[in-house]
Amino acid sequence: MQGMREKFNKLKRVSKPNPRNIALMVDSYNISDDDPANHFITGIDIQTGLEAKVFLRYDENTSENRPSIADFADSSNNLHVNASTNGDKAGVVLFNGCEQSGKSSFKSNWCNVLIRDSAKSKESLSLGLSTVVLKAGEYDSENPDAEIRNQAFVRQAMVKESKMFAANQFNELLNAVKSAMIQPEGSGRYLPEVAIRIVDYTEDEPFVDSITLTAPYKPQVDDQPNELFSPEECVEYFLSRRLDSNGKDITGAYIDVFQSIVNSMKESEELSTEDLFIEVMPVERRKFGPLTTKNFFALKEVDARNGGKKVVNDLSKKGEVIANRYMRRTENGSERLYVPTVIGLSKPNDPNDNHPDYLFVTESNTCEVFPKGYPLAHLPTDHYSNENEFKKVFENKNDGNKNLVSEAQAQNTEAPKAEAPKAEAPKVKTPKVKTPKADAPKAAPTSSVNESNDVPSELEERYEKLAKQFDEDSDMVDESLEEASEQLLDDELFGDLTDALNGNDDYDPSTSFRM
């Protein structure tokens, strides 16, 4: 009887999927009830393509900073998001920490605006295999007013645009690298990168590895903006020169490896691609906006080696939460993963529209609360895939639990975005590699961290409950969602959300896309 009880309880757990982060294309609002806990939005779950109903979870300690569904529904509110049933082009709301409460209904801990009005070109959305990189700049305690050069950007792998080459097709490979350095008109002026992967089956143990090359840019002259080299010049630099006219290395750490690959291909015998091939995959790199970037970093007082205290610039609580979603911690170190991610994009708030083809990142989140992803070397394409490399980010369950509690703390101090994102107009013909400014305080913070760590106990308990569910059910995912996630990884740019709005049967809800 005890064995039957255990089997019954296990089967019960299988029916409850893991929590998700849902990007919902808004169809309609229901805010007729006096109790805001009964308000909900009905729309299309962008990841699965299925209709969903999402509520916000309320309790007496709900943060005042959290936007409400009524805020999104109110057309006089700067947080208003269009609903398609009102005759408008639908907007998109990102709901975080969604637990399934019914067949197609969910309860969420938090929400943010991704797109207010999809008919306008100010905001857009992208979804695909991505990783977020956050690098804290150095804080000069001797000169606290000095600019802190933080970096915050997203890399999105264009897996469907990957091309495969035989070991002796070096000219074809160089042409593919050159093509990856081209920015199509209307693409939002990202910084082009390219992943080069070698897949070698000629030995008993297969060898798979990859490198990334970033488009170099010309040195800044006086106050003129930085400018990317042409695609032809990029390839020339990758193959030969490492220094620009000012003696600065502009081609990155992997240039020697790339040159070695090309030289080996020139001397290579003709091999079947079943034995060995080289793959070229475009990668789009986009910066977070200046205000968003600033929220990822904070000054902290830490112990100095001499036994005293010192102030350093480091990731804020929010920055840690974001970074942890893409870094898999193991006993031997850490590993960066590319994870199914929804990305909100916006144009600078420039009344003169001086930069009509520039997009920066306003919001991003992994599609799953406890995500899985691929290392760069094992991103799945039409030419290569290894599902054994599809790994949990939080392999150590305690890491997943801690990140959930940290997210609750970060959200509790996060202010709602009450207006369209404001951004400095980019001073570039193509995106600068320079980072946006972050205002450094003139004095060292008096506390150990210059941000609040307070979190309502009930909200923290909710996140701990989610963490406990993760402990018990981390391998048990609702079948329909699992299938949709697999389809998502099989498809890439570009699908068309207007097909979904118009009821087009050709619309593939699992396709990665831009909106």
pLDDT at site 365: 94
- Other Cβ atoms less than 10 A from the Cβ of 437: the count is 15
Give the pLDDT mean for 199-216. 93
* Whole-number pLDDT of residue 409: 62
Least confident of 196-200, 205-209, 473-477: 473-477
Task: Give the model's pLDDT for residue 461.
Answer: 54
What percentage of the chain has pLDDT greater than the value 70? Answer: 70
| Amino acid, single-letter form, for residue 142 | E
- Virtual CA dihedral for 484, 489, 493, 497, nearest 10 degrees? 10
- Gap between the Cα atoms of 348 and 356, Å rounded: 9
| Cα(481)–Cα(182) distance, integer angstroms | 36
Q: Which pLDDT score, from 0 to 100, does residue 8 have?
A: 65
Tell me 116's DSSP state: S
Q: What is the pLDDT of residue 329?
A: 86
Residues 6+ away with beta carbon under 8 Å from 512: 126, 127, 128, 129, 160, 488, 491, 492, 493, 495
What is the per-residue pLDDT across 350-396, written as a single tens digit (0 to 9) for each? 666 666 678 999 999 999 999 999 999 999 999 999 999 999 998 76
Indicate the pairing of strand 51-56 with strand 105-108: parallel
**Would you mind telling me the total number of residues written for the chain in this entry?**
515
**pLDDT exceeds cutoff 50 at 430:** no
Residues 230-276 have pLDDT tens digits of: 999 999 989 986 676 777 776 667 888 999 999 999 988 878 899 99
pTM: 0.78
> What are the φ/ψ torsions at residue 346 (nearest 5 degrees)?
-145, 155
- The residue with tokens 């008993």 is 204
The span from the CA of 442 to the CA of 450, in Å, is 13
**For the purposes of burial, counting CB atoms within 10 Å of the CB of 355, is it exposed (0-12), middle (13-18) or buried (19 or more)?**
middle
Query: Is omega for the bond preceding 207 within 30 degrees of 0, making it cis?
Result: no
Sequence-ordered alpha helix ranges (H) in 354-442: 397-412
Q: Give the residues across from 299 on adjacent strands.
A: 313
Across all residues in the chain, what is the average pLDDT? 79
Query: Position 144: which residue type?
Result: P
Cα(294)–Cα(435) distance, integer angstroms: 11
Tokens of 402: 């801690």
User: Which stretches of 273-332 are assigned E, i.e. beta strand?
Assistant: 276-287, 297-303, 309-315, 327-330
Question: Of 356, 355, 359, 357, whose CA–CA distance to 345 is shortest?
Answer: 359
User: What sections of 348-450 are H helices per DSSP?
Assistant: 397-412
**Of residues 219, 272, 226, the one with CA closest to residue 250:** 219
Q: What domains appear along the chain, each with residue ranges and CATH number?
A: 2-120+476-501 (2.40.50.140), 128-438 (no CATH)
Angle between helices 170-180 and 231-239 (to 10 degrees): 130
Residue 60: predicted pLDDT? 72
- Helix/strand/coil for 243: strand
Kindly report, residue by residue over 95-123, the tens digit of the pLDDT.
999 999 999 999 999 999 999 988 876 88
Cα distances (angstroms) measured from residue 407 to each of 301, 330, 413, 475, 505: 21, 21, 10, 22, 38
485 vs 412, higher pLDDT: 412
208-242 burial: b if 16+ Cβ within 10 Å, else e? bebbbbbbbbbeeeeeebbebbebebbbebbeeee
Integer Cα distance of 88 and 499 in angstroms: 15
Give the residue carrying structure tokens 């709901």: 95
